[in-house]
A and B are shown apart, each in its own frame.
Chain A
């Protein structure tokens, strides 16, 4: 199993540009999570999908952020327009189902907004 796959691994962009982060969860997992990690705030849950449906998006900071999961094997997190304070490492994680299973994390995307 390849684990959770994220792309790109690094992204450098200028303020105002659109940024799209991608995630492929572990095959057979039906829960997917997007997290953001910064030095100041630690690891924060942004949004959580179960069976491709957004269940909890209360962590999404503002309307500039949006996430989709068009099918069980792909999800995107989009920031439009991006701002320097969005610079962080964004992690995707998946879990087998909504019960008590452990989460598995991808390697993360390091985003720098200049």
Chain B
């Protein structure tokens, strides 16, 4: 059964720093991996989707990489801003058609002004 973990569970950084969030999954047989952002009391907002054949995706200050063979993905946030403060979740879609997205527990990010 696919399991997804995220490290660290929480992170606090000063504004302007570059940072990396980590996501690990136990089964490399995936269709894709998606990073989401969740603000307190709100729903999930899709940030980036990486297909299994891709190595990375970029959107603005965000860059997500995927190393399927090692079961890892990273989300890189450049020049962090207080508005980036949120919980970041990664989710993988296993190739087993019976399963859909399996979510990690999230990393709670605080960017201090």
* Interface, chain A (partner B; CB < 8 A): 4, 33, 42-43, 45, 48, 56, 58, 91, 93, 100-108, 110
Residues of B in contact, count (CB < 8 Å)? 23
A105 and B43 contacting across the interface, CB-CB below 8 Å: yes
CB distance from A25 to the nearest CB of B (A): 13
CA distance A102 to B106 in the complex (A): 18
Instruction: List 23 interface pairs A-B (beta carbons < 8 Å), by A numbering.
Output: A4-B43, A33-B101, A42-B104, A42-B105, A42-B106, A45-B100, A48-B100, A56-B98, A56-B99, A56-B100, A91-B43, A100-B31, A100-B32, A100-B93, A101-B49, A102-B34, A103-B34, A105-B36, A105-B43, A105-B45, A105-B46, A108-B42, A108-B43
Among B41, B93, B101, the one with the most A-chain Cβ atoms within 10 Å of its Cβ is: B101
A33 / chain B contacts, CB cutoff of 8 Å: 100-101
Interface SS of chain B: helix, strand, loop or mixed? strand
Closest residue of chain A to B52, judged by CB?
A: A100
Asked whether B88 is an interface residue with its Cβ less than 8 Å from the other chain, the reply is no
CB distance from B30 to the nearest CB of A (A): 10
Interface SS of chain A: helix, strand, loop or mixed? strand
Known contacts A43-B89, A56-B98; A103/B103 CB under 8 A: no
B51 and A104 contacting across the interface, CB-CB below 8 Å: no
Task: Known A-B contacts: A45-B101, A100-B93. Give 13 more (CB < 8 A).
Answer: A42-B105, A42-B106, A43-B103, A45-B100, A56-B99, A56-B100, A100-B51, A103-B34, A105-B43, A106-B43, A107-B42, A108-B42, A108-B43
Chain A to chain B: the 4 pairs with minimum beta-carbon distance, closest first: A105-B44, A102-B49, A43-B103, A105-B43
CA distance A108 to B44 in the complex (A): 9
CA distance A47 to B18 in the complex (A): 38
B51 / chain A contacts, CB cutoff of 8 Å: 100
CB distance from B66 to the nearest CB of A (A): 13
A45 / chain B contacts, CB cutoff of 8 Å: 100-101
